[in-house]
Amino acid sequence: MTAPAPWPIPPDLPWFTALEPVHHVPGRVRLRYRCRPGSPSGADALARAVERVEGVESVRVSPAARSLAVRYDRGRTSAAALCGTLAALPVPADTPAPAPETRAAAGDAGRQVLVRLATLAGSFLLPMPLRLPLALAGALPLLKEATGIYAREGVTSHVLEAMAVSISLARRDFTAANTTTFMLALGEYMEESIARRSDSLLKHLLRPSSDEIWVLRGGVEILVPAGTVAVGDSVVVGAGAVIPVDGTVMSGTATVNQAAMTGESVPVAKGRGDGVLSGTLMEEGRLVIYAEQVGTHTAAARIADYVEQSLTAKSTAQLEASRLADQLVPTVLRLAATSAVLSGTWQNAASVLQADYSCALKLATPVAFKSAMYGAGQSGILVKGAGALERLAQADTFVFDKTGTLTTGMLQVTDSITFDAAYTPNDLICLAASVEEHYFHPLAMAVVAAAREIENRHFDHQEVQFIVAHGVASIIDGKRIVVGSRHFVQEDEGIDVAPHEDAINRLYQEGKTLLFIGFGGKLVGVLALKDSTRATSAATIARLRQAGVTRILLLTGDHRDRAAELANELGLDDFHAELLPADKARIVEDLSRDGARIAFVGDGINDAPALAGAHVGIAMQKGADIARLTADVALLEDRIERVADAKETANATMALIASNYRLTVGLNTAILGAAAMGLLSPVGTAVLHNGTTIGILLNALRRG
């Protein structure tokens, strides 16, 4: 099928439908944008248009992150005026091919390294009269850039580097000048490559999805635009296709490769009742999936959004590293001047100016965060930015909701109580399952699962009637059968349950959910269902304690007896039961006021206030939309052990950042000291400084 041509857009309409500043320093602003559908969105077209705006000096476009990084002349425009002008840019009438000079202006860092290497070689091979012009030509881009930076920002690490090259040129030490420019170009290329890899690692969690999706409507499979798929649609996915929605399998069997979303290398078998994630690949089989999250609400789309946030948001550790790096620049400058005065030679000053703390301090921390976020994403943990990871490492108190977190949130049949001697407990389960097997509901699925575990006797019935929020009804052997809530059976169907009140109340007191079965106008029995504790909950609690968590609590709206039983079973420090949503938020607030740094783990709508009020919120995979949106960390798999994985990842990341900080300060201080005492030449300082910076960045990347 050929995709329809985009609707022609009048050229006077604004190009951007959204344009939001996300980071601003004097002379530079980063903006998040969204182009009007159907309009040009390529990096070249955007760069050309923005570069034409008054006052813009350069622009870098990242289509994957929908990011514009714009450098501007503060004497000709301001950030506010620039944003206003860009927001009003009209859709271009045409998009000519990029001019050669535009492509050249974009620059190729790798080519710059080769140019600087050729310049360095020329300093040895050319006659002396030609070495000065060659060295000046090689240093000119650096000196020009440093002059602009100095005018905008004052003395920075780039300005120090330019001063070092200038001193070497003044001393006619062309080898030192050319070596410095080469090492700076090589270091910048490596640093940008590493930073770019840390960004692309996150983006690789995504798989492309088709613009069209097969759905079942009226019993017929039709191909519809992806944007028209709604929650509740039955989505059909065949072998080789990428699953386009988050949902639950209604029918079919298949093997699904979930590596892109969860990191599992072995394909997973999926069948009725199993959850599936968008972005995962169907290897074999065919599934009909009940769509629960579509479009921008799917896991893959949320990852894309969080990736975009992570590439711009800064954590406290990042900000502190940048602030310290900037504060140390004047210290380096004073040390260079002092060294020159005491030694009587400018060579020592040139050596000192080669080494500074800026590059490693400013880049290693965000690279470590992004690399850790990539590793977490591969493990089924979606971390919404570096700040969330940082706060998770600080958390010393974990507070858990009960249902769907420490427990499975999936009901199991625990009791089958018959009130008619004609039916055994197993008959009762099979009787209910015969009509419930057509109903896509957790209670129904639990009953059907229980019937499959016993000798499944099927009762033939007529068409099943679904009564929303009540239950199901049908006809078996000419008699009406109803399966559902007490209200449905007693009030709507007029079936008397009073004779069995004692048994019913006992089951209620045990915290169980009851399913009433009426047949032929009589209550023939009830099925009791109960949530079960996750098999890995106890091990997860133990791992959290090993990770430095000092207190673990349970908050639940469930009965006090059930909460006490679970807290005792898992060895929790305390519990609070029979709570309303406001009670959970209040308890979290009280604990925070007492100095606790709280990680709250929940999954329901009623958990959203507590998730928002906690130091860091963690939402389970099957959580309500509002819980997952409110949380700082969202699990992509329904596995409680991922909570401990997230905590351990956060701890390891902050330990790595601290280690890199010590390495940066220690190595650069040693290099500076040696340079100030004349033990290192400018060439030696440049090699050591750039080499150690690249090593520290590679160390920061290893978490990925």
Helix (H, G, I), strand (E, B) or coil at 591: helix
Which tokens sit at 535? 């098999």
| Residue in 326, 356, 401, 603 annotated catalytic | 401
Residues whose CB is less than 8 angstroms from the CB of residue 220 and which lie 6 or more positions away in sequence, other chains included: none
Q: Of the candidates 56, 158, 48, which has an alpha carbon nearest to the alpha carbon of residue 94?
A: 48
Neighbours of 609 (CB within 10 A): 22
- Phi first, then psi, for residue 556 (nearest 5°) are -155, 155
State which H helix or E strand residue 72 sits in.
strand 67-72
DSSP 242: B
State which H helix or E strand residue 193 sits in.
helix 174-203
CA 370 to chain centre: 10
Say what angle helices 316-343 and 346-354 make with each other, to 10 degrees. 170
CA 36 to chain centre: 25
379 contacts 600 by C-beta, under 8 angstroms: no
**What is the C-alpha end-to-end distance of the chain, expressed in Å?**
40
229 contacts 245 by C-beta, under 8 angstroms: yes
Q: Which amino acid would we find at residue 132?
A: L
Which tokens sit at 443? 């209670």
CA atoms in the 13 A half-sphere facing the CB of 270: 32
Query: Does the annotation mark 246 as catalytic?
Result: no
Q: Which amino acid would we find at residue 163?
A: M
Bridge partners (DSSP) of residue 220 are 217
Angle 661-663-668 from CA coordinates, rounded to 5°: 100
Q: Which amino acid would we find at residue 353?
A: L
Neighbours of 63 (CB within 10 A): 12
Which tokens sit at 659? 């280690």
Q: Of the candidates 273, 218, 586, 500, which has an alpha carbon nearest to the alpha carbon of residue 408?
A: 273
Helix (H, G, I), strand (E, B) or coil at 136: helix
| 513/380 Cα distance (integer angstroms) | 31
CA 651 to chain centre: 17
| 96/94 Cα distance (integer angstroms) | 6
Sign of CA dihedral 217, 219, 224, 230: positive
374 contacts 647 by C-beta, under 8 angstroms: no
* Residue showing tokens 């714009």: 70
| Rounded CA Rg of the chain | 32
* Residue showing tokens 């080499």: 691
Report in angstroms the alpha-carbon separations of 267 from 41, 235, 291, 373, 378: 36, 21, 21, 23, 15
180 contacts 117 by C-beta, under 8 angstroms: no
| 157/145 Cα distance (integer angstroms) | 12
Neighbours of 201 (CB within 10 A): 21
Burial of 436: CB neighbours in 10 Å, binned 0-12, 13-18, 19+: buried
* Residue showing tokens 């050591």: 688
Length of the chain as a residue count: 704
| 522/533 Cα distance (integer angstroms) | 34
Which residues are known to be catalytic?
Answer: 401
